[in-house]
């Protein structure tokens, strides 16, 4: 029998038999201090509702990122408390089992980290499908310094000319990067992209064949895009896919906290005064 149930029995005995509290506690083996204890547990209804609302709006957020969102709302709450409520509400994510990674048999050359925004971009392709089964392609681009995504291009097919056109649109806002890190796909080895890079002074940095870990930043970005956008949306048309993916890109840049950036967003990092910005980037963010 729990202490709470014993307290209830004490109240029943004192009310039914007109006996004193001391005697009722002695019969039930309950100390009087425990009997008179008043719970100081905080009301968590509002906090639970807010956690459920964030988890519903962002189904792939774990409790750590939900904690960041709560602090942004001005709530003073600890991580263990959020973790407990998160588990009690049944919101725990189903994590995929980790696959065994093969070790590289060659020396890996680590490129020096960029020192300013939009100095080094990384891009890759993804594939998804509409509700009727037709497939479409997605070109993803991310800035390695700030994790900012300047553009995500969505189309039924993406050849070298369309890739160059998308990069030119992004460069009009943020300027041309110095280095573009890519894999060995046919679109990235095309003459069109090679001529574009030469004309604008962009160095194409190809990773080792079969080593996506060399392009880890865009691989991480693609995983977030698939987990938080592709897997939670149904695309009925090309226009619908473009609208939903662009909305996610804006949210990713302006609202989504990044643990690698100190729980800031890419836009918050770019607005910090100590961050050295190229002229085109500073003008685009105004």
pLDDT of residue 206 exceeding 60: yes
Same domain, 159 and 212: yes
d(CA 219, CA 70): 28
pLDDT of residue 19 exceeding 80: no
Centre a 10 Å sphere on the Cβ of residue 138 and count the other Cβ atoms it contains: 22
Domain span at 21: 3-35
* Contact of 205 with 218, CB cutoff 8 Å: no
d(CA 134, CA 139): 17
Task: Domain count for the chain, please give it.
Answer: 3
pLDDT score for 209: 77
Same domain, 24 and 55: no
Same domain, 266 and 166: yes
Tell me: the pLDDT tens digits for 142-156?
999 999 999 999 999
Top-confidence residue, 155 or 115: 155
Same domain, 192 and 65: no
Same domain, 145 and 245: yes
Same domain, 11 and 65: no
pLDDT of residue 108 exceeding 60: no
d(CA 10, CA 19): 10
Residue 22 lies in a domain: yes
pLDDT score for 281: 45
Residue 95 lies in a domain: no
What CATH number does the domain containing 264 carry? Answer: 3.30.420.10
User: What are the distances in angstroms from CA 8 to CA 12, 17, 32?
Assistant: 6, 14, 13
Tell me: the pLDDT tens digits for 164-187?
999 999 999 999 999 998 888 777
Same domain, 200 and 242: yes
pLDDT score for 17: 78
Same domain, 127 and 83: no
């Amino acid at each position: 029998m729990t202490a709470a149930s014993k307290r209830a029995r004490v109240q029943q005995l004192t009310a039914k038999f007109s006996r004193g509290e001391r005697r009722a506690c002695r019969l039930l083996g309950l100390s009087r201090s425990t009997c008179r204890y008043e719970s100081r547990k905080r009301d968590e209804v509002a906090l639970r509702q807010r956690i459920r609302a964030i988890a519903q709006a962002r189904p792939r957020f774990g409790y750590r990122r939900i904690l960041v969102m709560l602090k942004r709302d001005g709530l003073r709450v600890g991580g263990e408390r959020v973790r407990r409520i998160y588990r009690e509400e049944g919101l725990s994510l189903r994590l995929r089992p980790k696959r065994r990674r093969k070790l590289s048999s060659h020396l890996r050359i680590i490129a020096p980290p960029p020192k300013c925004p939009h100095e080094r971009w990384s891009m890759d392709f993804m594939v998804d499908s509409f509700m009727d089964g037709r497939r479409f392609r997605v070109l993803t681009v991310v800035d390695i310094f700030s994790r900012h995504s300047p553009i995500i291009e969505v189309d039924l097919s993406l050849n070298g000319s369309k890739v160059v056109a998308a990069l030119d649109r992004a460069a009009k806002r943020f300027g041309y990067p110095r280095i573009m890190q890519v894999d060995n796909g046919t679109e990235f080895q095309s003459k069109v992209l090679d001529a574009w890079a030469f004309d604008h002074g962009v160095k194409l940095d190809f990773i080792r064949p079969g080593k996506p870990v060399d392009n880890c930043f865009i691989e991480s970005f693609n995983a977030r895009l698939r987990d938080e956008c592709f897997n939670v949306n149904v695309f009925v048309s090309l226009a619908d896919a473009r609208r939903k993916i662009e909305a996610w890109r804006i949210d990713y840049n302006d609202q989504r906290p990044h643990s690698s950036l100190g729980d800031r967003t890419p836009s918050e990092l770019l607005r910090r005064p100590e961050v050295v910005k190229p002229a085109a980037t500073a003008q685009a963010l105004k």
